[in-house]
Amino acid sequence: MHVGLEHYLTVSFLLFALGLLGVIMRRNLIVIYMSLELMLNAANLALVAFSRFNDKLDGQVLVFFIITVAAAEVSVGLALIVALYRRRQSAHVEDLTSMKL
Protein backbone atom coordinates (compact mmCIF):
# COMPACT_ATOMS: atom_id res chain seq x y z
CA MET A 1 0.00 0.00 0.00
CA HIS A 2 1.41 3.34 -1.01
CA VAL A 3 2.18 5.64 1.89
CA GLY A 4 -0.08 8.68 1.88
CA LEU A 5 -1.00 11.58 4.09
CA GLU A 6 -3.28 9.48 6.25
CA HIS A 7 -0.40 7.25 7.27
CA TYR A 8 1.58 10.17 8.56
CA LEU A 9 -1.46 11.55 10.30
CA THR A 10 -2.08 8.22 11.98
CA VAL A 11 1.47 8.11 13.27
CA SER A 12 1.09 11.70 14.40
CA PHE A 13 -2.13 10.88 16.18
CA LEU A 14 -0.70 7.82 17.90
CA LEU A 15 2.28 9.81 19.09
CA PHE A 16 -0.07 12.51 20.37
CA ALA A 17 -2.18 9.93 22.18
CA LEU A 18 0.95 8.50 23.80
CA GLY A 19 1.92 11.95 25.00
CA LEU A 20 -1.58 12.55 26.30
CA LEU A 21 -1.58 9.28 28.20
CA GLY A 22 1.76 10.16 29.68
CA VAL A 23 0.55 13.56 30.81
CA ILE A 24 -2.54 12.16 32.42
CA MET A 25 -1.17 8.99 33.92
CA ARG A 26 2.46 9.54 34.90
CA ARG A 27 3.16 11.35 38.15
CA ASN A 28 6.73 12.35 37.75
CA LEU A 29 6.81 15.98 36.65
CA ILE A 30 9.84 15.46 34.43
CA VAL A 31 8.27 12.57 32.60
CA ILE A 32 5.11 14.59 32.19
CA TYR A 33 7.26 17.22 30.59
CA MET A 34 8.75 14.69 28.22
CA SER A 35 5.26 13.57 27.28
CA LEU A 36 4.45 17.17 26.46
CA GLU A 37 7.42 17.17 24.12
CA LEU A 38 6.02 14.06 22.48
CA MET A 39 2.75 15.82 21.85
CA LEU A 40 4.53 18.80 20.35
CA ASN A 41 6.48 16.49 18.08
CA ALA A 42 3.29 14.81 16.99
CA ALA A 43 1.97 18.18 15.93
CA ASN A 44 5.21 18.90 14.12
CA LEU A 45 4.97 15.68 12.20
CA ALA A 46 1.42 16.44 11.12
CA LEU A 47 2.45 19.92 9.99
CA VAL A 48 5.39 18.70 7.96
CA ALA A 49 3.18 16.05 6.35
CA PHE A 50 0.58 18.68 5.46
CA SER A 51 3.28 20.87 4.05
CA ARG A 52 4.51 18.07 1.86
CA PHE A 53 1.12 17.08 0.57
CA ASN A 54 -0.24 20.60 0.16
CA ASP A 55 2.68 21.91 -1.81
CA LYS A 56 3.39 24.72 0.64
CA LEU A 57 6.50 25.41 2.66
CA ASP A 58 4.65 27.47 5.28
CA GLY A 59 3.95 24.39 7.38
CA GLN A 60 7.65 23.78 7.72
CA VAL A 61 8.24 27.38 8.74
CA LEU A 62 5.62 26.89 11.42
CA VAL A 63 7.40 23.78 12.63
CA PHE A 64 10.60 25.79 12.78
CA PHE A 65 8.89 28.27 15.05
CA ILE A 66 7.34 25.52 17.15
CA ILE A 67 10.76 23.99 17.75
CA THR A 68 12.09 27.38 18.83
CA VAL A 69 9.20 28.04 21.14
CA ALA A 70 9.39 24.51 22.52
CA ALA A 71 13.03 25.03 23.37
CA ALA A 72 12.19 28.23 25.21
CA GLU A 73 9.27 26.55 26.93
CA VAL A 74 11.36 23.60 28.07
CA SER A 75 14.01 25.84 29.54
CA VAL A 76 11.48 27.91 31.47
CA GLY A 77 9.46 24.86 32.51
CA LEU A 78 12.48 23.00 33.77
CA ALA A 79 13.65 26.07 35.66
CA LEU A 80 10.22 26.18 37.30
CA ILE A 81 10.48 22.52 38.21
CA VAL A 82 13.88 23.12 39.77
CA ALA A 83 12.56 26.07 41.76
CA LEU A 84 9.58 24.01 42.85
CA TYR A 85 11.78 21.11 43.85
CA ARG A 86 13.94 23.35 45.95
CA ARG A 87 10.97 24.48 47.90
CA ARG A 88 8.99 21.23 48.15
CA GLN A 89 11.67 18.57 47.84
CA SER A 90 9.42 16.66 45.46
CA ALA A 91 8.76 16.37 41.75
CA HIS A 92 5.51 14.46 42.06
CA VAL A 93 2.23 15.96 41.02
CA GLU A 94 0.45 14.31 43.93
CA ASP A 95 2.52 16.37 46.32
CA LEU A 96 1.61 19.57 44.55
CA THR A 97 -2.01 20.14 45.53
CA SER A 98 -1.85 23.65 46.91
CA MET A 99 -4.41 24.74 44.30
CA LYS A 100 -7.02 22.87 46.30
CA LEU A 101 -8.78 25.10 48.75
Partner 1 sequence: MEAINNLLGGSTVPDVLFYVFAALTLLCGVLVIANPFSRNPVTSAMFLVLTIISMAGLFVLLHAFFLAAVQILVYAGAVIVLFLFVIMLLDLKEEERRKIKIFGLIAGLISVGAILGIFLKNLHATNLNAQPSPSIEGDTAALGKLLFTNYVLPFEVVSVLLLVAMIGVILLSKKKLD
Partner 2 sequence: MKHELFPWLILFLPIFAAAIITLFTLRSRCVSAFLSIGAIITGFILSIIFINANGFHFAGEISKTWLSIGNLQIDFGLKLDALSMMMLLIVTGVGGAIHIYSVGYMHEDNGFSRFFAKLSLFTFSMLGIVLANNFIEMFIFWELVGVSSYLLIGFWFEKPSAGDAAKKAFIVNRLGDFGFLLGILMVWGLLGTLSFSGLQNQLAANPAALGTMAMIAGLLIFCGAVGKSAQFPLHVWLPDAMEGPTPVSALIHAATMVAAGVYMLCRIFFLLNADALHVIAYIGGFTALLAALIAVQQNDIKRIIAYSTLSQLGYMVMAVGLSGPTAAMFHLTTHAFFKALLFLAAGSVIIGMHHEQDIWQMGNLRKKMPSTFWTFLIGALALSGIPPFAGFYSKDSILAQCLEQKNYLLFSVAVFVAGLTAFYTFRLFFVVFSGKEKSDHASHAHESPLVMTLPLVVLAIFAAIGGFIGITNNYDSQFIAGHETLSIAQQFLEPLHTPVAMFIGIGVAVAGILVAFSLYKNATSDPLPAKLGALATAMKNKFYFDELYEATFVRAHDFIAAVCDWIDRWFVEGFCIGLVRGGTDLTGRALRLVQTGNLQTYAFLFVLGVAVLLYFVLK
Q: Looking only at residues 60 through 99 of this chain, which bind partner 2 when binding is defined by CB under 8 A?
A: 93-94, 96-99
Question: Residues for the chain: how many in total?
Answer: 101
Find the shortest distance in angstroms from Cβ 82 to partner 2.
17
Residue from 9, 11, 23, 34 touching partner 2 (CB under 8 A): that is: 23
Q: What angle do CA 84, 86, 90 make, to 5 degrees?
A: 65
How far apart are alpha carbons 40 and 15 in whole angstroms?
Answer: 9
Q: By C-alpha distance, which of 34, 57, 36, 35 is closest to 47?
A: 57
Task: Check binding of 46 to partner 1 (CB under 8 A).
Answer: no
Report the interface residues with partner 1, using CB under 8 A: 1-9, 11, 13-22, 24-28, 30-31, 33-35, 37-38, 41, 44-45, 48-49, 51-58, 60-61, 63-65, 67-76, 78-83, 85, 91
